[in-house]
Amino acid sequence: MSSQLESSFLKGSITALESGKKTQRPIIFVHGYLDNAASFNSLISYLPDFHCIAIDLPGHGKSKHRSPDAHYHLTDYVYDLHALIQEQKWTQVSLVGHSLGGIICSIYASLFPEHVQTLVCIESMGPLCEPEFTAASQLRESMASREKAKMPIKQPESMEQVVAARMRVSDLSAQEAIIILDRNIENKQGQLTWRTDKRLRTKSALRFTPNQAMDIIENIQCRFNLVLGKQGFIKLRRLLKQRAGLFKDLHLTELAGGHHVHMQSSKDVADIIQKAIKGQES
């Protein structure tokens, strides 16, 4: 099993868990909404011969929050990934994204195909979208959520409480929830506070339209390695029927598990990543 070290990038604004052989081409792991780098701990332990970097997106885990005048736009996350790759002068990387992280990675692969050797998306099939005629309602809801985010938030009373709450709204077991929440919560002399930025819960200002999402997908040049949990999000299976023909090279694998299938079938997902990378290198 590989050991992981805390690392920082982008002038210390992004934290990461890094392990493996730095002589190898990096694999960047991008987590889902309200998760963090620790959600990849088990998966990365099966990849000791690779250079693995699991980042905390801004506002998540141990990464810095955006400035008070900024918000958490999807396209800014894509730029964060681009800035990281530019900063480190990596000419090519492999990307592994879960849920929101998969959306970010797929958009990046569409915009900068020359930098992406391998793309693995877990429970994620490109940008979420809304019809053009919902623009006004989206913006109204987004602004209302920003006003709500100005209010103080309730801090955790105990880990048991937040673990139980997370389990109620996800497919995570208690042990899996603890792995994620332990990195999202700070404990100072027994006082628990959220590390995550409360503004993460604000709603998107505008989602891509269906045609915009189609354009993003059609510009992905590499194989789209899609991993779905057999008990994962039903809406992704409906999306698969709509979008399967848009990908130049789609390779689907279904594994035992739910939306966090990479935590529940870690070794199998690691095998998919290894085969995908070796297939591109051969």
Q: Is 13 contained in some domain?
A: yes
DSSP string, 84-144: HHHHTT-S-EEEEEETHHHHHHHHHHHH-GGGEEEEEEES--S--B--GGGHHHHHHHHHH
Confidence of residue 282 (pLDDT cuts 50, 70, 90): very low
Sign of CA dihedral 156, 197, 93, 26: negative
Q: Is 225 contained in some domain?
A: yes
Report the alpha-carbon distance of residue 73 to residue 76 in Å, rounded.
Answer: 5
Question: Does the pLDDT at position 259 exceed 70?
Answer: yes
Q: Is 168 contained in some domain?
A: no
pLDDT in tens, 94-131: 999 999 999 999 999 999 999 999 999 999 999 999 99
Q: Is 255 contained in some domain?
A: yes
Give the distance, in angstroms, between the CA of residue 141 and the centroid of all CA atoms in the same chain: 24
| pTM score | 0.96
| 273 contact partners, CB below 8 Å, separation of at least 6 | 27, 43, 47, 94, 96, 118, 120, 225
Kindly state the tokens that stand for 186: 């700070």
Percentage of the chain beyond pLDDT 70 is 98
Report the alpha-carbon distance of residue 220 to residue 238 in Å, rounded.
Answer: 20
The domain spanning residue 252 has which CATH number?
3.40.50.1820
Can you tell me the mean pLDDT for 181-190?
Answer: 93
Can you tell me the mean pLDDT for 238-259?
Answer: 97
* Number of domains observed in the structure of the chain: 1
- Pick from 183, 196, 198, 192: which is nearest to 148 by CA? 198
Q: Is 123 contained in some domain?
A: yes
Q: Is 82 contained in some domain?
A: yes
Domain span at 28: 5-131+206-281
Enumerate the active-site residues. 99
Confidence of residue 143 (pLDDT cuts 50, 70, 90): very high
Q: Is 235 contained in some domain?
A: yes
